[in-house]
Structure 1
Amino acid sequence: MKNSILFTFIALFFLSGCDAQIKKNPKYLGSKFGNFNLDAVTFAENLDTLFSKSTGSFKRSEKGNSSAGGIVGHQYFLNSKNNPGLKVYFIDEQFNDVKSQFISDQTGKFAAVKLSLVSAKPMDILSKINQKYGKYEVKLKIKNALHNYQWDTPKKYISLAYSDKMEGEGYLYYLLITEKKRADSKFDISRFSNPIQLCLDKSCKE
C-alpha cells in the first residue's frame, strides 16, 4: 500500500513538472490573459485571434517592390504599454519588448516574431538560450557592428543580435524567431528581419 501511494505521488510530481516545462501560452494577448513566452510559440497560432482582445494593437500589410505591388506579408504590432501587466518575453521575463512584432506571410500564416529592446546593463540572454538550444548553435560569417548568433532547431530558427554599449543608449538587443519551414520556402523573411540577418545556407556559415 505504501509503495502504491509513493508511486502515485512520484508519477503526479513528474507529470506536473512536465506540464510546467511545456506550459502553453494564453489564446489571447492582453492584460488579463497573462504573459506570453515566445519560447512556447508553435506558429499554429492564428494572429488575428491572438490580437483580437489586445488594446492599441494594429496590423500593417507589406507590399512588394515590383510594379505589381502585391502583398508579401503582414506585421502585427503590440504595445505593452497599452496592455498594463502584459509581458511578451523570450525565456527570461526580463528579456521583453514593449513593442513586439508578429509577422505572417502573404496568406496570413504566422511566420516569425521579432523583439527589440534597449537595456542599460548587459543581459545574460545568450547563455540562457545556449542552456536550452546550445547544441543547435551555428557559427556565422556575418560581420557587422553587432554580435550575431543563430540556432537552427528542428522546427525554428532563433536569431540574436546585440550591440556593445552605445553612448547614451545602453545595449541594443534584437531577437527573431522564425518558423523553419516558412523561412525555407519562398517567404522573404529578410524584408521584416532587419537588422538581423537570418542565415539560411552555407554561404554565411563557417
Structure 2
Amino acid sequence: MTWQEYQEAVAVLYEQADGFGNVSRNVMAPDKITGQPRQIDVLIEIEAKGHPLKMIVDAKFHAVPIDVREVESVLALADAVGANKAIVVAANGWTEPAKKKADHVGCDLELLSVDEALDLIVPDKWKMCPSCDADCIVLDQEGAVTFEGGAWFWWLAGQCRGCKCARIHCQDCGLKAYIELHASMVCGCGHRWSSTDDGVTIAFFEVDPEW
C-alpha cells in the first residue's frame, strides 16, 4: 500500500461517516499569515447553529508509531489554516508522549490499520502478501470456462503489486494457495497455475510431473 492510497482510505472513512459535514480530499488552503497554500489531507466543514467549524484530518502512513513531533506538526498546520480541530489518523499507532500532547490540546488520535485501510478502498478483494509483507494482493483476475459436456469452471486470482507473488482460489476443488513469481503448482482438479510477469495463467488438466 502506498501513502497516497492510505490517504485515500482515510478520506473514504470520513466520507462514509453519516452526518459528519462536508468532506473534501487533498485540499489546498491559504496560510492565514503568509498566504501560501498549505496541503490538507482531508478537510471537514460543519455548520453548527449558524457557526462554521473547520476540522483537518492528517493521515500518517508510518511503519512505526507516530511521536510527539508528528502531533505538533499537525497542530501547527491546523493553526496555520484556521482550523477549529485537528484529527490524526495513524496506521501504526502512537507513542505515549504523542498521546499526552494530543489529549492536552484536544487533538483526536485515530487508528486505521493497513488492513482496514485496504478494505476501504478494495473491499473484499485483497490479501496481505505473505512473501514480501509490504503490499497487498488484489484479487482482480477472475474468469470462467465451459468444457465439453457442459461442465464449467471459474476462478479468482491476483498478484502482489510489489513482488508479484500470486494468490489463487480454485472454485472447483477449493484450493486456496500462494505461488511465488515464476513458480507454478497443480490443483486438485489437475489444472496448472503459474505466476508470471504478465499475471496468473492456468493450463487446464495438466499433470504435475512430481505425481
TM-score (norm 1): 0.27
Larger radius of gyration: 2
More helix by share: 1
TM-score (norm 2): 0.26
More strand by share: 2
Q: Which has the higher contact order (CA 8 A, sep 6+)?
A: 1
